[in-house]
């Protein structure tokens, strides 16, 4: 079974991002700083993107992690649900990306069907993390090359409780936000002009 990950994704303006960093630090203490470098992979004919799936290798400080995702549902309040499989890789793999095969699980491997994976490129993200009981707060600054996005992600097994708690806190602090229905990957693909075209000329589904 591939685990289901649940996240709240809320878009922020730069000033709101800065204010929220101060407020969360006052509430929960200093953050863990993660310097994330993301690289995405697909076949030359975009099989994964057209199937609403992704393969990512992320260098996060000293760790390198392979993540395979399958697009799920997005609620109006910014709650995302998707299948996510992860495996930590040897840190040396980062220097040889594209030269050695990645341990891709089913059904991603079935979709690829033996075709080689190519690196599409990627983006940098600066993440501040705090633990709030069962909730993991991730305050992100994502550099897509042509623009920088700011966002609060809350990974949680209890989305209703996280929504109630953090919507209330942000309102009390006067920090404005709005639901972010579009994933970082899809925003980067749009910025990089790499959205695939399905047979017949239709674009890939948005995610």
Q: By the 8 A CB rule, do 28 and 131 touch?
A: yes
Q: Is the confidence at residue 195, as pLDDT, over 90?
A: no
- And the tokens for 17? 């991002």
Q: Which of 21-30, 85-94, 192-201 has the lowest mean pLDDT?
A: 192-201
Torsion of CA 161, 165, 170, 172, to 10 degrees: 150
> End-to-end alpha-carbon separation of the chain, Å?
22
Q: What is the pTM of this model?
A: 0.92
Q: How many CB atoms lie within 10 A of CB 95?
A: 9
**At what angle are helices 14-28 and 159-173 packed, to 10 degrees?**
110
Q: What is the pLDDT of residue 175?
A: 98
Q: What is the pLDDT of residue 198?
A: 62
Q: What is the mean pLDDT of residues 160-176?
A: 98
Sequence-distant contacts of 185-194: CB under 8 A, at least 24 apart = 185/40, 185/54, 185/56, 187/142, 187/144, 187/149, 188/40, 188/122, 188/123, 188/142, 188/144, 189/49, 189/120, 191/144, 191/145, 191/146, 191/147, 192/120, 192/121, 192/144, 192/145, 194/120, 194/121
Residue 25 pLDDT level (bands cut at 50, 70, 90): very high
**102 phi and psi angles, rounded to 5 deg:** -100, 145
Q: What is the pLDDT of residues 31-62, one digit of tens each?
A: 999 999 999 999 999 999 999 999 999 999 99
Q: What is the mean pLDDT of residues 155-182?
A: 98
Residue 35 to residues 61, 161, 190, Cα–Cα distance (Å):
5, 29, 23
Q: What is the pLDDT of residue 103?
A: 95
Q: List the one residue out of 113, 146, 152, 145 whose CA is nearest residue 18.
A: 152
How far is the C-alpha of 94 from the C-alpha of 84, rounded, in Å?
Answer: 21
Q: By the 8 A CB rule, do 134 and 159 touch?
A: no
Residue 27 pLDDT level (bands cut at 50, 70, 90): very high
Q: Is the confidence at residue 192, as pLDDT, over 70?
A: yes
Q: Decide which of 28 and 197 is more confident.
A: 28
Q: What is the pLDDT of residue 200?
A: 55
Q: What is the pLDDT of residues 89-144, one digit of tens each?
A: 999 999 999 888 999 999 999 999 999 999 999 999 999 999 999 999 999 999 99
Q: What percent of the chain is modeled with pLDDT above 90?
A: 90
Q: Is the confidence at residue 153, as pLDDT, over 80?
A: yes
- For strand 135-143 and strand 32-42, is the pairing parallel, antiparallel, or unpaired? unpaired
Domains defined along the chain, listed by start: 11-192 (2.40.320.10)
How far is the C-alpha of 55 from the C-alpha of 86, rounded, in Å?
Answer: 10
| DSSP bridge partners of 84 | 69
């Amino acid at each position: 079974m591939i685990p289901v990950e649940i996240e709240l994704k809320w878009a922020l303006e730069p000033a709101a991002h800065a204010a929220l960093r101060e407020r969360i630090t006052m509430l929960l203490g200093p953050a863990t700083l993660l310097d994330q470098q993301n690289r995405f992979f697909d076949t030359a004919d975009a099989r994964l993107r057209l199937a609403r799936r992704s393969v990512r290798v992320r260098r996060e400080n000293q760790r390198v992690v392979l993540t395979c995702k399958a697009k799920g549902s997005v609620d109006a309040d910014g709650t995302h649900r998707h299948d996510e499989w992860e495996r930590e890789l040897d840190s040396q793999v980062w220097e040889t990306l594209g030269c050695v095969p990645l341990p891709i699980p089913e059904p991603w491997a079935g979709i690829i069907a033996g075709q080689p994976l190519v690196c599409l490129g990627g983006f940098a993200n600066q993440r501040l993390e705090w633990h709030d009981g069962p909730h993991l707060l991730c305050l992100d600054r994502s550099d897509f090359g042509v623009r920088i996005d700011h966002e609060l992600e809350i990974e949680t097994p209890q989305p209703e409780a996280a929504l109630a708690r953090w919507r209330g806190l942000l309102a009390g602090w006067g920090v404005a936000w709005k639901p972010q229905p579009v994933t970082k990957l899809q925003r980067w693909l749009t910025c990089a002009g790499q959205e695939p075209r399905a047979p017949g000329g239709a674009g890939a589904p948005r995610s």
